[in-house]
Amino acid sequence: MWTKATVICLFLSAIVSVPETVVGQQQMLGTDHLQLIEIRGKQRRDRIDGLTGVARTAPAPALEPLNPPRSTARQPAYDLHPNSGTLTPSGESIEFLGMEELQALIQSSIDASRVSEAQAKWNSIEQKLDSNLQDIRQLSQRIESVSQTPSQSVSSGTVASSISHLAPGIPRPEAQITPTSSPLQSSAVPWLTLTLSAFLVSLFALTLSAYRLGLSRASHLDRPTAPPQHVPTTVPEQYMPESSELRPRRTRGLAWPHEDAKAGATVLPLPVSQQEEIPEPLAPNIDLSTDDSATILSFETFSDQHRDEKKQKQEVNSALMAQILQDNLNLSNKAS
Amino acid sequence: MPAQNKDVLMSNKPQCVGIDFGTFKTSIVASNGNRDSIMTAVGLPKDHIARGMLGCDEVFGDRIGQVRTAVNLVRPFDCGALKYTDSSAAGLSADEVNRRCKAAKSIMGEVVRRVELGTGPRYAVIGAPSQASDEAKNVILQAASPHFDAVMIVAEPFCIAYGFGHLVGTLVVDIGAGTIDVCPMFGTYPKPDQQYSASVGGDAVDRELLSLIQQAHPDAQVTLNMARQFKEKFGTVSDDQERAVVVMPVEGVPTEFDITDIIRDACRVLVEPIIEGIHKTVAMSDPEFQAQLRGNILLGGGGSQLRGLDRLLETGVEKLGGGKVTRVNDCLYAGAAGALKLCMAMPAENWEQLRSQNAKAA
């Protein structure tokens, strides 16, 4: 009988203590968060508020007193008269305790059991709170690292999954995270960086090509002062103009090699002082060892070549015309 | 300069024309910017009633098709006769030869009339088959002489090459109605023995197509003219082409026939002679330039428009070492335009020399 009564009392006390445990846990969690929020900056505080907002702002259940007043305790369905007794079927007499004694007995047993049980629960809550606090700190560190890395795109889903992974007890805060409007934290950052890089690279390439073009033009303009590399050192006499003034002359009084050869003089190297005065022409990118039609030709060479082709075409054309005329003259003769 | 002198100078400006006197079609391009093309045929009225109905003694061009039942059609160079082969080889009687020569002269007069030449001296360059005999060239010369002060006969493939400026390293294949001419270009005027001509052309395809249709569909009523129209509409040598469904009457009832395979087989009559001509011409040429010739084969003439012919020829040339085949864009006027270009490029003294020679002969 006593055992049954004790079990009933323990069950009732457990029912009464459950909301208190939940509320206590929530209250502790909120306090720690508030302390943490004070340390972080405003942006992070907002985020953490968002993360924990559900727990803090959730309506707390009604707080029931730990020691309910006696009047609210359960009353028996019937009222036993104090010091009244009855007989069992075996004739053994049973002495009933008074209501007050019974209540005092029950209360003492309840208090003893609740103290030990509350102590155990308090310990477990403390451990849980410690772990939660540690998780929140890790989470805040991670959020801080994410916010300090602009090229990495952070989505609310990523944060929520991180939170749920680190702190399973904390509800997912999707609704509390507001999308960031900063361009440095948006997904457009990599594209902006790429575009900027491409622009810089193309600008560099353009500058380089313009520089090389100017260099080649400068070398082309300088080249008339020097003989083309493919010009033979000796030119047959029949190709030389009659007037010596029409003959090509190198500037600064230097004769062409064929003039020296014609005069029978030996081409001697210039004195060192004159060699220094005459700027050496930029070497054209012509590989004379290969018969590549794509080699760079000077203007004179090109005009000569063009003139030769035109002359050759005219010769072919005139030969063709003469041949056609001859055939038709023969045909006309035969017909007549 | 007085206006009168200017008019005199303008009136003495030479009038140059280039003519492709083809077996089936004649094209003419003049230096005044006019050009025209008509069928190389003349329609002669069958009787007095037809003459009265037509109002003339000769009918040319598109009008022949409209009054075909009232005229006798004369094609002077039908199947290459008088143009490639001699009259004896073509089996023509003397009357028939005269009749055809007269028809050729009339056709030449008609095309010259159509381009409305000025009053200056008239010079003409006329294309002829590569290996045309002297008799055949004389026929052309006699047909053109009454209308021009001086005439030059030039190989038709050479005219095409000259018009495109491909005078070196090009193998020109002119697929006409009467002949297939293959001419290598080395920068000189090709000699007759360097060229190749085969008496196969569009007319042979028409006859083959007519024969195959009659064999496959003996009930169908079909003529050579209908077969030519079928060829011009569905002509191909390729296996992958749309179905050629034509309508031919069967006992007076229009009936549809699928002649896809028949047309393809008939058109492939040209392939073997062309490959043979390319082979022979390349083999006769300088071995150092044979690869260059094979790599630049130019198709001209009406037969070049057969679908898939260039690809099939490239396949056929593979056994000779491979080659690249292209075709001219404007097959109708390519030869005439080249002839006009040559006519205008000819020095004036050459024309005068030829003119005086013709005057002496006359």
Q: State whether A8 and A55 are in the same domain.
A: yes
Q: State whether A252 and A131 are in the same domain.
A: no
A320 in reach of chain B (CB within 8 A): yes
Q: State whether B231 and B127 are in the same domain.
A: no
Domain boundary among B74, B94, B123: B74
Q: State whether A124 and A253 are in the same domain.
A: no
Q: State whether B219 and B119 are in the same domain.
A: no
Check residue B77 and give its pLDDT. 84
Domain boundary among A267, A283, A299: A283
Q: Which residues of A106-131 are buried (b: 16+ CB within 10 A; e: fewer)?
A: beebbeeebeeebeebeeebeeebee
How do beta strands A85-87 and A93-95 pair?
antiparallel
Domain boundary among B31, B57, B74: B74
Least confident segment among A313-327, B168-182, B263-277: A313-327
Check residue B134 and give its pLDDT. 81
Q: State whether A108 and A25 are in the same domain.
A: yes
Is B145 part of any domain? yes
- CATH code, B243: 3.30.420.40
Is A111 part of any domain? yes
Q: State whether A256 and A117 are in the same domain.
A: no
Which phi and psi angles does B154 have, rounded to 5°? -130, 145
Q: State whether B19 and B87 are in the same domain.
A: yes
Q: State whether A145 and A50 are in the same domain.
A: yes
Segment A274-283 shows an average pLDDT of 47
Q: State whether B65 and B138 are in the same domain.
A: no
Is B277 part of any domain? no
Percent of chain A at pLDDT exceeding 90: 3
A330 in reach of chain B (CB within 8 A): no
Q: Among A4-18, A105-119, A133-147, B269-283, which range has the highest average pLDDT?
A: B269-283
Domain boundary among B74, B96, B126: B74
A205 in reach of chain B (CB within 8 A): no
Q: State whether A159 and A240 are in the same domain.
A: no
Is B212 part of any domain? yes
Is A269 part of any domain? yes
Residue B222 has pLDDT above 90, yes or no: yes
Check residue A313 and give its pLDDT. 74
Q: State whether B142 and B34 are in the same domain.
A: yes
Q: State whether B95 and B17 are in the same domain.
A: yes
Whether B29 contacts B333, CB under 8 Å: yes
CA distance A332 to chain B (A): 7
Q: Among A5-14, A26-35, A272-281, B118-127, which range has the highest average pLDDT?
A: B118-127
Q: Do B342 and A329 touch (CB under 8 A)?
A: no
Domain boundary among A240, A262, A283: A283
CA distance B360 to chain A (A): 9
As given in the structure block, the two tokens for residue A286 are 């012509």
Is A210 part of any domain? no
Check residue A4 and give its pLDDT. 61
Q: Do A316 and B153 touch (CB under 8 A)?
A: no
Check residue A236 and give its pLDDT. 53
Q: Among A57-71, A234-248, B147-161, which range has the highest average pLDDT?
A: B147-161
| Residue A13 pLDDT level (bands cut at 50, 70, 90) | low
Give the dihedral of Cα atoms A305, A308, A312, A313; nearest 10 deg: 60
d(CA A101, CA B362): 164
Q: State whether B137 and B246 are in the same domain.
A: no
Alpha-carbon radius of gyration of chain B: 22
Q: Do A329 and B354 touch (CB under 8 A)?
A: yes
Burial of A198 (0-12, 13-18, 19+ CB in 10 A): exposed
CA distance B73 to chain A (A): 29
Which H helix or E strand runs over A87?
Answer: strand A85-87
Q: State whether B253 and B129 are in the same domain.
A: no
Long-range contacts of A270-279 (CB under 8 A, 24+ apart): A277/A252, A278/A225, A278/A252, A278/A254, A279/A222
* A72-130 residue pLDDT tens: 444 444 444 444 444 444 555 555 667 788 888 888 877 888 788 888 888 988 898 99
Q: State whether B139 and B26 are in the same domain.
A: yes
Residue A234 has pLDDT above 60, yes or no: no
Q: Who wins on pLDDT, B253 or A151?
A: B253
Closest by alpha carbon to A162, among A143, A134, A185, A186? A143
Q: What is the mean pLDDT of chain A?
A: 60
Nearest by CB to residue B141, choosing from A322, A325, A335, is A335
Inter-chain Cβ pairs, chain A and chain B, closer than 8 A: 55
CA distance B240 to chain A (A): 42
Nearest by CB to residue B134, choosing from A317, A321, A331, is A331
Check residue A319 and give its pLDDT. 80
Q: State whether A122 and A167 are in the same domain.
A: yes
Q: State whether B140 and B21 are in the same domain.
A: yes
d(CA B143, CA B28): 14
d(CA A24, CA A17): 11
Is A121 part of any domain? yes
Which phi and psi angles does B327 have, rounded to 5°? -130, 155
| Residue A263 pLDDT level (bands cut at 50, 70, 90) | very low
Burial of A164 (0-12, 13-18, 19+ CB in 10 A): middle
A213 in reach of chain B (CB within 8 A): no
As given in the structure block, the two tokens for residue A295 are 């080699």
Q: What is the mean pLDDT of chain B?
A: 87
Q: Who wins on pLDDT, A254 or A210?
A: A210
Q: Look at chain B and report how many structural domains it folds into.
A: 3
Q: State whether A170 and A241 are in the same domain.
A: no
Q: Do B134 and A323 touch (CB under 8 A)?
A: no
d(CA A285, CA A216): 10
What is the domain extent for residue B84? 12-39+78-158+333-361
How do beta strands B196-198 and B15-21 pair?
unpaired
Is B88 part of any domain? yes
Check residue B28 and give its pLDDT. 94
Is A79 part of any domain? no
Is B229 part of any domain? yes
* B279-338 residue pLDDT tens: 999 998 888 888 999 999 999 998 998 999 999 999 988 888 888 999 898 888 999 999
Is B345 part of any domain? yes
3-state secondary structure of B321: coil
Please, which residues 138-177 of chain B have a Cβ atom closer than 8 Å to chain A?
138, 141-142, 151-154, 167
Is B347 part of any domain? yes
B212 in reach of chain A (CB within 8 A): no
* A153-167 residue pLDDT tens: 445 455 555 555 555
Q: Who wins on pLDDT, B172 or B239?
A: B172
Q: State whether A165 and A248 are in the same domain.
A: no
Residue of chain A with shortest Cα separation from B166: A313
Is A175 part of any domain? yes
Whether B137 contacts B131, CB under 8 Å: no
Q: State whether A44 and A138 are in the same domain.
A: yes
Q: State whether B28 and B100 are in the same domain.
A: yes
Q: List, in order, residues 6 or more apart from A297 with CB less than 8 Å away.
A: A305
Q: State whether B18 and B112 are in the same domain.
A: yes
Segment B128-150 shows an average pLDDT of 85
Is B169 part of any domain? no
Q: Look at chain A and report how many structural domains it folds into.
A: 2
Q: State whether A173 and A109 are in the same domain.
A: yes
Residue of chain B with shortest Cα separation from A313: B187
Residue of chain A with shortest Cα separation from B138: A335
Residue of chain A with shortest Cα separation from B343: A321
Chosen for mutation from B101, B130, B137, B159 (greatest number of chain A CBs closer than 10 Å) is B137
Check residue A73 and give its pLDDT. 43
Residue ranges of the alpha helices (H) in B235-333? 260-267, 271-284, 290-294, 309-317
Whether B86 contacts B113, CB under 8 Å: no
What is the domain extent for residue A7? 2-66+95-179
Chosen for mutation from A314, A323, A327, A336 (greatest number of chain B CBs closer than 10 Å) is A327
| Residue A188 pLDDT level (bands cut at 50, 70, 90) | low
Residue A239 has pLDDT above 60, yes or no: no
